[in-house]
Structure 1
Amino acid sequence: MTNVYDILLERGYIKQTTHEDEIKELLAKEKVTFYIGFDPTADSLHIGHFLPLMMMSHMQKAGHRPIALVGGGTVMVGDPSGKTDMRKMLTIESINENAEAIKKQLSRFIDFSNDKAIMVNNADWLLKLNYVEFIRDIGVHFSVNKMLTAECFKQRLEKGLSFLEFNYMLMQGYDFLELYKRYGCTMQLGGDDQWSNMLAGADLIRRKEGKPAFAMTCTLLTNSEGMKMGKTVNGALWLDKEKTTPYEFYQYWRNVDDADVEKCLALLTFLPMEEVRRLGGLQGSEINEAKKVLAYEVTKLIHGEEEAQKASAAAEALFGGGKDMSNVPTSYITKAQLNASLLDVLVETKIIPSKAEGKRLIQQGGLNLNDNKVTDINAIITKEDFLDGSAIIRRGKKNYNRIVLE
C-alpha cells in the first residue's frame, strides 16, 4: 500500500517538514490525527486555502483523521504572516458569520460523518483563557529573541509590530497543544507561510507534554515565475460562487500559462499522476485540451459536476463557435437603465468591482462591447448596443459577460 507521504511528495505538495523520516514512518504505521487551521477573515475560503484542503483530503483518503480548526479566537488577534500592515479588526458578529460560512465550505471537501473528521472552533478555549495564567503557563516557553527571527514577524517589524499580533504565535501554538490533549492530535499541516507558527506549536507540546509532535507545510500556489496564483480583476479567486462565478472560476484555470498546467493538475485535481504527466506533456495547441481538463476538474471539485458542465458549455459557446449563450454569466438591466454611463451599468451589474477599475481597463484597451473596443471612459450604453436583446462585454482577452435587456 502506498504511503500518503509518497503521494503528497510525488504530487508536489510538501514544502517543509520537521522530521521527514519520522513523519513518513508514522504515516505508514498509524492512523494519525492532524489539523489544519482556517481563520475566518472572510465569509468564504479562496483558492489559496484549496491546496491545504486537497492535502487534507489526500490524508483522509489514506485513513488519517483531519481536524478542521476554524480560528474564531485567533482571528480576533490577526495573523501577521505575509502582511506588511496590521489586519483589519473584525466584529464578533462578522467573525461568527464568517466561521459558519467556512464550516459549510469545509464540509464539501472533507467527510465529517462517523468521526472520520472533526470540526472545532478555537474560540471555544481561547476566549475563556485567563491572561495572567496563560502568560505564566504558556508564555514562559517562548523566547522573544527566537520569535523575532521568525519570517512571519520580519516584514511587520519594518512598519511596526503590535503587541496584539505578537501574541498570535502563542495562541496558535496553544491550539496545537489543546488539540493534542483533547483529540491526540500529533501533526499540524498548513501553508508554508505558517511554518514559524507550526514549529512553535510542535515545540510547545514537547516542552509541556514531553511527547513528539510534527509539522508539515504545503507549497504555496505560485506560477512558473514564482508569483502567487489566484488573483483576478475582481480580487481573490473565491470558492463561493456568489463571489466568483463558476464560469469565471473555470475561465481562470482555462487560461493558465502552458508552463503551469502540469503542476496545477497535480495539486488541484485527483487525476492519476500518469494522466497528469500525459496532459502536462502535450505540446502546441494540444495543451489547450489539458487546460480544459484542468478547468473542468477543479470547477467540478469546488462547484459540482453540473456547474462545471455549464461553465464548459459557456466557454465552448464563446470560443468554440457554439450558439448556446445561456451558460455565459448573465446580468439583466431594464430600459430605465439605458442611456446611462456604461461604467455605471457595469458596476451596478457587478461585472466590474468599481468605476476606477473600469477606467483602468479602458485606458489599457481591455474593455470591449460587442467586439468593439471601448475607448471613451464616458461611453453611454444605448438600446442599439443590444443585438437580439443582449450585449456581450469582454474584459481582457477571455473574460466574457452577457447583459440582457429586460
Structure 2
Amino acid sequence: MNLLHELEWRGLINQVTDHEGLEKLLSEEKISLYCGFDPTADSLHIGHLLPILTLRRFQQAGHFPIALVGGATGLIGDPSGRKSERSLNEKEIVQQWSEKIKEQLSRFLDFDTAENPAKIANNYDWTRSLDVISFLRDVGKNFGLNYMLAKESVQSRIETGISFTEFSYMILQSFDFLKLYQNENCRLQIGGSDQWGNITAGLELIRKTEEEAKAFGLTLPLVTKADGTKFGKTESGAVWLDKEKTSPYEFYQFWINTDDRDVIKYLKYFTFLTKEEIEQLEKELQEAPEKRTAQKALAEEVTKLVHGEEALRQAIKISEALFSGSISELTADEIRQGFHDVPSFEYTGEAEEVSLLELLVTSGIVSSKRQAREDLTNGAIYVNGERVQDVNKVLTKEDRVEGQFTVIRRGKKKYHLIQYKS
C-alpha cells in the first residue's frame, strides 16, 4: 500500500487539507515536510512520539523530514489545547531546552543518509532579526482579525482570557511554514489534531504570499485510552523520553501495562511492525489475552526504538527479577531503576555490619522489635530476594549490592530499599 493508505490503516490521519492532491503529490515527488516541537520542558514526552514517528515513516518512504525546534515560538507559548496562559520561560532556559530536544529528535530521524537526509531547523534563526514593524507590515497584514478569532484555539480562550502574546502565536507558526516553504520547498506540515487552526493559517499565508503555491496540512489523532484516563500520564507524572526523567524500566512498564482495548491501536501508532505482524498479534490477543503477547511486543518495540537494545534488555531483566524475586541478579543501576519509587531508608551508620532486626525497626519497615521477630520467624522477610528467618541475622557488606543497596521485602509485595551513604 502507498504511504497515505498505510497512514490511514494505522489510524494516523485525523484531517488533511486536500487528500487527493496530497496523494498525487506524494506519488509523483519526494517532498520536504515538517513538524514543530516547542521547548516547553527539557525533554520531549511520549505525547510527542506520534508526530516524530510519522516523520520517520515519511523518511522511510523516501521523503525529506524537517524537525523544527521552536526556539522562538517556545518563548511565546501556544494557546492550543490550553485553558490558561502559559508561564513565559527565560530566553537562556528555552535555548538550553532547544538543544536537548534537538539531541532527542536525532535518535529517530536519519541525518546521515545520502538519499533523503532529515534536517533540524530552529525558528529562532529567522525571527531573531525580524523587527516589529516589518513583522506587522509584511506578515501580520495577511491575517484578518475575524479569521483569527474564528480559530478554535482562540475561541476556546475568549471567555477565560488570552493575551496578545499568545494570540500572535498563530502568526508566528504560519511564518515558520512560509519560511520553510521558501527556503526548503517544504510542501507539508503535520501536527497533532489541536494544530489544525495553526496549520491552515500557515497555508493561507503561503497562498497569499507565493504565486501558484500548493502546500498541504495533515493532522494526527489525539491519542486516547479506553479507560478514559489521559494517555502518557502515570501516578508519578508524565512519561518522558529522557531516561533520567523516566527510566527505561518505567518506560517499558508503561507500555506493557497497556489495556487490551488499546494495545492493537498503539501497535499501529507507535511501532513499525507490518500489517501482517500486527494482525497476527491481534489474533493472539483474541485467542489468549492472558499471555499478553501483544503488550510484550508493544513494550519491546517502543522501548528499543526510544532507548536502544541494551536498555530494553535491562528493562526486561528488571521486570523478570521483580516477578521472580531474584533480586541478587540485579546490578546497582538496575535496582535504582526498578525500586526508585518504593519506600527507602538511608543507613548512615559507620558499622559495616548491622543487625537485620534493628534495621527493620529503624528503617520503619516494621513498628517494633516484637513485630520484627514475628515476621522473621514466620518467613515474611526477604533480603535481596532470599528468605531470612534467623532473628539474629547480621547484614554485612556481602548483603550490599555493589556497596550501595539492600532490598528488603516484607510479605509478597512490600519492597523497601536500604541505601548506604558512599
One fold, TM greater than 0.5?
yes
CA-CA distance at 1:50 after TM superposition: 0.4
1:316 to 314, 320, 328: 320
Post-superposition Cα deviations, 1:353-398, rounded to whole Å, max 9, x if no partner, equal xxxxxxxxxxxxxxxx989xxxxxxxxxxx99xx95523689xx99
CA-CA distance at 1:13 after TM superposition: 1.0
Tell me, yes or no, if structure 1 residue 335 matches structure 2 residue 347: yes
Q: How does 1:205-224 map to 2 (within 5 A)?
A: 205-210=206-211, 211-224=213-226
Counterpart for residue 380 of structure 1: none
Verify the 8 A CA contact 1:255 1:291 in the aligned structure 2: yes
Aligned residue identity for 1:197: N
Verify the 8 A CA contact 2:347 2:418 in the aligned structure 1: no
1:264 to 266, 283, 287: 266
Tell me, yes or no, if structure 1 residue 63 matches structure 2 residue 62: yes
Post-superposition Cα deviations, 1:309-363, rounded to whole Å, max 9, x if no partner, equal 11011111122565534434256864228888879xxxxxxxxxxxxxxxxxxxx
Aligned residue identity for 2:292: N
Aligned residue identity for 1:14: I
> Number of residue pairs matched?
366
Give me the whole-angstrom Cα distance separating, in 1, the residues matched to 2:216 and 2:198.
Answer: 12
Aligned residue identity for 1:179: L
Distance change in 2, residues 1:31/1:340 (3 Å): farther
Point out where structure 2 has 5 or more consecutive residues left out of the alignment: 350-358, 366-379, 383-393, 401-405
TM-score (norm 2): 0.80
Give me the whole-angstrom Cα distance separating, in 2, the residues matched to 1:214 and 1:191.
Answer: 15
CA-CA distance at 1:59 after TM superposition: 0.1
Tell me, yes or no, if structure 1 residue 139 matches structure 2 residue 124: no
Aligned residue identity for 2:138: D
Verify the 8 A CA contact 1:220 1:228 in the aligned structure 2: no
CA-CA distance at 1:403 after TM superposition: 4.6
Give the aligned CA root-mean-square deviation in angstroms. 2.9
Post-superposition Cα deviations, 1:207-255, rounded to whole Å, max 9, x if no partner, equal 1103111000111221124543100122111000000000000000111
Counterpart for residue 6 of structure 1: 5
Counterpart for residue 153 of structure 2: 152
Counterpart for residue 391 of structure 1: 407
Give me the whole-angstrom Cα distance separating, in 1, the residues matched to 2:414 and 2:276.
Answer: 32
**Relative to structure 2, which stretch is displaced further, 283-292 or 119-128?**
283-292
Counterpart for residue 240 of structure 1: 242
Counterpart for residue 364 of structure 1: none
Verify the 8 A CA contact 1:370 1:391 in the aligned structure 2: no
Give me the whole-angstrom Cα distance separating, in 2, the residues matched to 1:40 and 1:16.
Answer: 25
Give me the whole-angstrom Cα distance separating, in 1, the residues matched to 2:184 and 2:244.
Answer: 35
Tell me, yes or no, if structure 1 residue 299 matches structure 2 residue 303: yes
Distance change in 2, residues 1:177/1:401 (3 Å): farther
Counterpart for residue 93 of structure 1: 92
CA-CA distance at 1:405 after TM superposition: 4.1
Q: Secondary structure at the match of 1:277?
A: helix
Verify the 8 A CA contact 1:71 1:122 in the aligned structure 2: yes
Counterpart for residue 110 of structure 2: 111
Counterpart for residue 352 of structure 2: none
Distance change in 2, residues 1:258/1:24 (3 Å): same
Aligned residue identity for 1:289: T
Counterpart for residue 278 of structure 1: 280
Distance change in 2, residues 1:341/1:159 (3 Å): farther
Verify the 8 A CA contact 1:3 1:27 in the aligned structure 2: no
Verify the 8 A CA contact 2:260 2:289 in the aligned structure 1: no
Aligned residue identity for 1:239: L
Q: Secondary structure at the match of 1:297?
A: helix
Q: How does 1:121-132 map to 2 (within 5 A)?
A: 121-132=122-133
Verify the 8 A CA contact 1:23 1:214 in the aligned structure 2: yes
Give me the whole-angstrom Cα distance separating, in 1, the residues matched to 2:298 and 2:381.
Answer: 29
Counterpart for residue 27 of structure 1: 26
Distance change in 2, residues 1:305/1:149 (3 Å): same
Aligned residue identity for 1:149: A
Give me the whole-angstrom Cα distance separating, in 2, the residues matched to 1:46 and 1:285.
Answer: 29
Aligned residue identity for 2:5: D
Distance change in 2, residues 1:336/1:89 (3 Å): same
CA-CA distance at 1:273 after TM superposition: 1.6
Give me the whole-angstrom Cα distance separating, in 1, the residues matched to 2:78 and 2:63.
Answer: 28
